[in-house]
Each structure stands twice: as structure tokens, then as C-alpha cells.
Amino acid sequence: MLNLKNESEFRAEIFARNPRGVSEILSRARVCILGAGGLGSNVAIMLTHAGVGEFLLVDFDIVEPSNLNRQHYALKHLGRPKIEALKEQILEINPYAKVQICGEKITSQNAREILKDEKIICECFDGAENKAMIANLSAEYRDKIFVCASGMAGLGGANSIQTRKFGANLYLCGDSASGAGLENGLISARVMLCAAHQANTVIMAILGEN
């Protein structure tokens, strides 16, 4: 068991393998994650492991058995709100993280109010309509960075998952083609590939590398 007296000691030990100076920058960063399912739960955990210090998690759903094949939850989380279970896991990794949760369903009516103070927004929704709604906001809010996803279903090759930049502040991760359905399905490795692209893009944006 670690016996670290303060946050500085904690970060020095836990994030010792980060490149020099990166941990301090990430610790001050805040990321809004819209959706806590296959993409969002994995993005949140990856960013926590990287050292991101603050989150806003937005989701209204609960953990169901069919989620466990690809989402970052366990049997003990079944029936619980995803944002609560995900917050718990984040704090188990980094007890100094600041995690705000919002159980509202994002709509065209409340999206602007929820996102008004957010600078980095990671869209991890399931439905195409909600995905398009968030992506379209990138043209309206040029001071925000939007990291969206489209296409990660089925058994396609890993190299078909890519990150593309559109305009000044919109990034799209995925193959932009494969939709989830009865034939394609959703496999953990491919969903996580897309989530990793999103998490990596967020980190690069925080560090100003894009």
C-alpha cells in the first residue's frame, strides 16, 4: 500500500513514467466526457491513468449485463448509474481527481447550457443523431475542442480506425463507416481502439500538440 503524504508525492510516484513536465499540465486539465458507455468509460479510465485531473461525466444510463463485454464496469456495478460507477473507479486510481457528474440526457435544448464552460469535449454517444448534434456545435464554439467518434463496430482491421481533423477544432475518431447492428455487433478490442484514439487526441490537445 502506498503511503504518500500529499498530492505532489502521489503524482511523483504514480505518473513517474510520463514525459517530463507532462503530469503537471495534465493535472490542471479538465475534460468533459459525454456518454459513459463503451467509449466514454474507457476514455475516462485512460485519461485518469495518464494523469488528467478533472472531469465532467455526463450520462443518464445504468450499467446493464450487455455492457460488460466492452465497457469499463464489473458485475458489482450492475444496476448502478454509469456516472457514479465510473467516478468511483476514477477515484480509486487517483483520489485527488476532481469528478463532477451530470445525470441529464443531452438534448438540443440543454446542450449549450451544460457545455458552456467546457473547453475540451469528448463525444462518446451511441446514437448518430446525438453525435451529429455535438459535432455541429464545433462550428458554433470555435474556442472549444471537440473529439468525436464514428464507426467502431464489427471485426474490421485495427488500421481502419483513424483520427481525422475537420476545421480548426473538430476531431473524428473511428472508421466513419461501421455502424453497430445485429450483424456487426460491438467487440471490446475495436471499441477500445476507438476510445484510445479519442483519449490520445484529448491528451495531445491538452498539451497543444495538434
Query: Closest Cα partner for 86 from 110, 62, 119, 121?
Result: 62
For residue 132, give the CATH number of its domain: 3.40.50.720
14 inside domain: no
Task: State pLDDT tens for residues 74-107.
Answer: 999 999 999 999 999 999 999 999 999 999 999 9
Q: How far apart are CA 156 and CA 101, in angstroms?
A: 34
Say whether pLDDT at 26 is over 70: yes
- Domain hosting residue 92, numbered range: 21-206
Predicted confidence at residue 156, as pLDDT, reads: 83
Q: How far apart are CA 53 and CA 44, in angstroms?
A: 11
Q: What is the number of alpha carbons within 13 Å of residue 47 lying toward its C-beta? A: 41
Predicted confidence at residue 182, as pLDDT, reads: 53
What domain count does the chain have?
1
Q: How far apart are CA 196 and CA 120, in angstroms?
A: 16
Task: State pLDDT tens for residues 3-20.
Answer: 677 888 999 999 999 999
63 inside domain: yes
79 inside domain: yes
Task: State pLDDT tens for residues 173-210.
Answer: 999 887 766 567 888 999 999 999 999 999 999 999 75
Residue with cell 450487455: 66
3 inside domain: no
174 inside domain: yes
185 inside domain: yes
